[in-house]
Homo-oligomer: A and B are copies of this chain.
């Protein structure tokens, strides 16, 4: 992207003075201010490798406090980095230029669950799983399911347009956000969208804010769409000799009109690493693992899962397990997290990537990785969402000094992704981690328009500076 004088650089913000800190604390209330050095350090990073150090953390409990803080930031030109639960993987919540971290974690109330109109109104700090459980008690379902759903917040999910395995059937967070209340960098509060499924009044500011990674406004309330909770769910797992065989099964399942609520795969490297955790025979010798979940009416999904089992066998599956008990099922879901943990433990250099290729090219893409591994001295553990083409590449090397070479390799991989008609981030976002790769996917005209939109919302570039662009 080169330099652009209109975007902030390291020296763009003066350090926050004692006087400014005093004014902030007066504006938002002492109770909301945290300046204990341990906590500042703790809230200076997310789940990525990036770190920053805020001079102050404001833990808001109301939109008024958010407004007061941003009004001051806009007047005094200090950076504010909004933060949900800090589970992001791209440094989106890291205060790159110090300043203030604005935590929304204490705004964690579910304000209403409206069964008749199938909506819920929530504050941004509500934990995804807490919302899922609360609406399930009303017979309702909130589908978005990022891997961190036990700890991530719905506000952070909206800010990053997070998604997970269920995307193939249910879509991503943006498909469930009907409307927002947000504070703009000016301190003005706006409401976007509506509380109904349809609404076409003016430009779609809701979807512009969703996925903007906290750079355009701070979400202080969300109106979310709910659906009836599916009555039942069932699972199948299969082992295949090669990834291409597993992907053949995926194509057949979709081609025959089934719409599973998850189709997850792991490659050979992952199976070597964590095969011992899977309650299966012959795992470590297999070339690919596939997990398919289907939800709906019990007798229908029973028929469907059996049909899917047949498809897997026709596609050379060497072992198929239908409808495992819930203990085995949760073991199989947990095993994916184990990949990341073991990879992190084994390798001094570990970079998680999050790309998407068209479903029909997953096998071709993953089977092309060994050549890249060899050329750039990496080892790549691939797993992901076969049903939507979203692959998590766990890129590793034996030595941190290989970083430059590995980054060259990543650039090559991302170019290959784009050449296949894919995208360089499926659900983690850009944050700090992928800024450098943005021009691979977006044209200069697109980036220019987006930067100008940023300036419309945030003329003084005080909100989450240094992210995306």
Contact = CB atoms under 8 A, between A and B. Distances in A.
Nearest to A117: B358
Contact of A228 (B192, B259, B385): B259
Nearest to A173: B200
Q: How many copies does the complex hold?
A: 2
B450 A199 contact: no
A429 B438 CA distance: 33
A64 to B, nearest CB: 16
Contacts of A388: 196-198
B175 A171 contact: yes
B251 A196 contact: no
A106 to B, nearest CB: 25
A72 interface: no
A71 interface: no
A118 interface: yes
Contact of A254 (B212, B228, B300, B428): B228
Interface in A218-254: 227-229, 231, 251, 254
A292 interface: no
A118 B254 contact: yes
A75 interface: no
A130 to B, nearest CB: 22
Interface in A411-440: 421-430, 434, 438
A357 B199 CA distance: 10
A205 interface: yes
A191 B118 contact: no
A426 B199 contact: yes
Contacts of A174: 204, 207
Given A201-B424, A425-B199, A446 B190 contact: yes
A119 B422 CA distance: 13
B116 A201 contact: no
B210 A204 contact: yes
A341 interface: no
Interface in A363-406: 385, 388-390
A356 interface: yes
Contact of A200 (B119, B258, B425): B425
Given A199-B426, A207-B208, 5 more contacts: A163-B198, A196-B426, A198-B427, A203-B468, A300-B300
4 nearest A-B pairs in the assembled complex, by CB-CB distance? A207-B207, A116-B360, A228-B257, A198-B426
15 contacts: A114-B358, A116-B254, A190-B445, A197-B356, A198-B385, A198-B423, A200-B426, A201-B442, A202-B430, A202-B447, A202-B468, A203-B211, A203-B453, A203-B468, A205-B449
Interface of A: 114-119, 139, 160-161, 163, 167-168, 171-172, 174-175, 184, 188-192, 194-205, 207-208, 210-212, 216, 227-229, 231, 251, 254-255, 257-259, 297, 300, 356-360, 385, 388-390, 421-430, 434, 438, 441-443, 445-447, 449-450, 452-454, 456-457, 468
